[in-house]
Amino acid sequence: MPDKHDVEKLKLIDAVQATLNQEDPALAEFSRAFYDRGAAEDLVAYTAEELTGFARDAWQDFQNHELGTHRVSIADPAFKAQGSKVKGVSIIEIVNDNMPFLVDSVMDELQESKIEVHLVLHPIFIVERDDNGKLTSATARKKPPKRTDRQESLIHIHVTRIDSPEARAALKARLDKVLSDVRAVVSDFKPMQERLAE
């Protein structure tokens, strides 16, 4: 028998998708993948209106990304929505090429920084972009990808509101360093494996 939180989560996602489908079917599909793997007990703390606003903002943020780079943003939700959670959180959003160790490394940094986390979403998309990095299509990764697929990771984390601009800037700098370190490790790992195989 499904857990009551799982049932409530599915109802929320259905409501978000139905609302956004009237605006843009691609955004609606994105919203389902965005929330699909989120922890039910965390998602049900939000209203459908709040979740709709977060999905809209994340979709906008995901529109542009240059291959081989990452982008970290820390912001308060700019939209108004009925619900008590939206006023008390800051959003950390990271767009990156998909690779191992991303979420664990980011969560380790937040834990070391003693930042309280309320929600973590990490959908992985197979994307197509034009030469300028503008999104032309995004499909949720549901099965092992082909070698030619361009996979991108979207990490979306809600933390207790960070009001200080200095604290945000310092956290962004630390996360930028963490993500650069992960890329360096992953980039070195494949050639190392190939040399070992030889």
pLDDT in tens, 136-181: 999 998 877 888 899 999 999 999 999 999 999 999 999 999 999 9
State how far the Cα of 117 lies from the Cα of 159, in Å rounded to an integer: 4
Q: What is the pLDDT of residue 148?
A: 86
Flag whether pLDDT at 69 surpasses 60: yes
Q: What is the pLDDT of residue 188?
A: 75
State how far the Cα of 194 lies from the Cα of 198, in Å rounded to an integer: 6
Q: What is the pLDDT of residue 187?
A: 86
Q: What is the pLDDT of residue 192?
A: 59
**What are the tokens at 141?**
């990764």
Q: What is the pLDDT of residue 146?
A: 84
How large a percentage of the chain has pLDDT more than 70?
A: 94
Flag whether pLDDT at 198 surpasses 70: no
Over range 93-100, report the average pLDDT: 96
On whether the CB atoms of residues 151 and 99 are closer than 8 A, the answer is no
